[in-house]
Structure 1
Amino acid sequence: MIGLLIILLLVLFLPFTVKVVEHNLEYFLFIMGILAAFVGGVLDTKLLVQALEDPIKITLAVLLAGLLFKWFQNQLGHAITAFSNKIPFPLFIAIVVIGLGFLSSIITAIIAALVLVLIISNLPLQRRHEVLLTVIACFSIGLGAALTPIGEPLSTIVTSKMGEDFLYLLELVGPFVIPGVIVLGIFAALVVKRREGLGLQSSTETESYKEIIVRSVKIYLFVFGLTMLGAGFEPLINAYLLDLSPKILYWVNMISAVLDNATLAAAEVSPAMSASTIEAILLGLLISGGMLIPGNIPNIISAGKLNITSKEWARAGVPIGLAIMVIYFVILIVIGF
Structure 2
Amino acid sequence: MVTALVVILVLILLLPFVVKQVEHNLEYFLFTMGIISVIVSKQFSVELFFHIFKNPLIYYITLAVLIAGLIFALLKEKLKIGVEKVADKISLRLFAFIIIVILGLMSSIITAIIASLVLVEVVNYLPLTRKNKINLIVIACFSIGLGAALTPVGEPLATIVVSKLHADFFYLARLIGIEIIIAILALGLIGTFFAKRESGIGEPTEDVEADENIREVFIRAFKVFVFIFALELLGTGFKPIIDLYIVKMKSEILYWVNTISAIVDNATLAAAEISPSMTPEQIRAILMGMLISGGMLIPGNIPNIISAGKLKIKSTEWARIAVPLGAILLIVYYIVLFVI
Alignment TM-score > 0.5, same fold: yes
The alpha-carbon distance between structure 1 residues 253 and 231, as it changes in their structure 2 partners (threshold 3 A), is closer
Please point out which of 269, 284, 287 is paired with 2:289: 284
Q: Secondary structure at the match of 2:197?
A: coil
Q: Spell out the pairing of 1:19-38 with structure 2 (5 A cutoff).
A: 19-20=21-22, 22-24=26-28, 27-28=31-32, 31=35
Paired letter, 2:150: L
Give aligned pairs, total. 328
Select 1:265's aligned residue among 265, 269, 277.
269
Partner of 2:18: none
Give SS of 1:74's match: helix
RMSD of aligned Cα (Å): 3.8
Which structure 1 segments of 5+ residues have no match? none
How big is the shift at 1:332? 0.7
SS at match of 2:212: coil
Displacement of 1:57 in angstroms is 4.1
Which shifted more, 139-148 or 219-228? 219-228
1:194 aligns with 2:199: no
User: Comparing 163-172 with 140-149, which one deviates more in the overlay?
Assistant: 163-172
Equivalent residue, structure 2, for 1:249: 254
Aligned to 1:16: 13
Identity %: 44
Tell me the residue number matched to 1:39: 43
1: CA distance, partners of 2:44 / 2:274? 15
CA positional deviation for 1:133: 1.8
2:34·2:237 contact (CA, 8 Å) conserved in 1? no
Question: In 1, Cα distance between the equivalents of 2:30 and 2:217?
Answer: 15
**Residues 63 and 212 in structure 1, CA contact (< 8 A), matched pair in contact too:** yes
Deviations 1:87-139 (A, max 9, x none): 22222111111122123334443443333232222222245433332221121
Q: Does 1:117 align with 2:120?
A: yes
Distance, in Å, in 2 between the alignment partners of 1:300 and 1:331 is 29
1:1-337 equivalences under 5 Å are 2=1, 5=2, 8-9=5-6, 12-17=9-14, 19-20=21-22, 22-24=26-28, 27-28=31-32, 31=35, 39=43, 48=51, 51-159=54-162, 162=165, 167-189=170-192, 191-195=193-197, 198-203=199-204, 204-205=208-209, 207-220=212-225, 222-223=227-228, 226=231, 236-257=241-262, 259-262=263-266, 265=269, 268-271=272-275, 272-333=277-338
Distance 1:111 1:250 in 2: 28
Do 2:27 and 2:230's aligned partners in 1 also have CA atoms closer than 8 Å? no
AA aligned to 1:39 is Q
Partners of 1:160 and 1:50 in 2: CA distance = 20
In structure 2, relative to structure 1, the CA distance for the partners of 1:167 and 1:228 (3 Å cut) is farther
> In structure 1, what residue type is equivalent to 2:194?
V
